[in-house]
Amino acid sequence: MSLAGKTAVVTGAARGIGFAVAKRYVTDGVRVVLADHDEKAGLAAEEQLREIGEATFVSCNVAERLDVRNLVAETLDAYGEIDILVNNAGIVATGSFLELKEDAFDNVLDVNIKGAFLCSQIVGQHMVERVENGGKPGCIINMSSINSVVAIAEQVAYCVSKGALNQLTKASSLTLAPFGVRVNGIGPGSINTEMMAAVNEDEAKRRRVMSRTPMARIGEPEEIAGIAAFLASDDASYITGQTIFADGGRLPLNYTVEVDD
Task: Give per-residue pLDDT as tens, 130-162.
Answer: 999 999 999 999 999 999 999 999 999 999 999
Residue-level pLDDT at 18: 98
Phi, psi for 163 (deg, rounded to 5):
-65, -40
Please choose, from the candidates 11, 49, 48, the residue with its C-alpha nearest in 3D space to the C-alpha of residue 31.
49
| CB-CB contact of 46 with 56 (8 Å) | yes
Q: Is 10 exposed, middle or buried (0-12, 13-18, 19+ CB in 10 A)?
A: buried
Active site residue 79: no
Residue-level pLDDT at 94: 94
Whether the predicted pLDDT of 1 surpasses 90? no
Q: Which of 79, 158, 238, 255 is catalytic?
A: 158
| CB-CB contact of 68 with 60 (8 Å) | yes
Q: Model-level pTM greater than 0.75?
A: yes
Residue-level pLDDT at 194: 83
pLDDT tens-digit series, residues 62-80: 999 999 999 999 999 999 9
Category of 109 on φ-ψ map: left (φ > 0), alpha (ψ -120 to 50) or beta = alpha
Category of 29 on φ-ψ map: left (φ > 0), alpha (ψ -120 to 50) or beta = left
Q: Which residues does 254 contact at the CB level (< 8 Å), separation at least 6? A: none
Whether the predicted pLDDT of 111 surpasses 90? yes
Residue 27: strand, helix, or coil: helix
Give the pairing type, strands 182-188 and 243-246: parallel
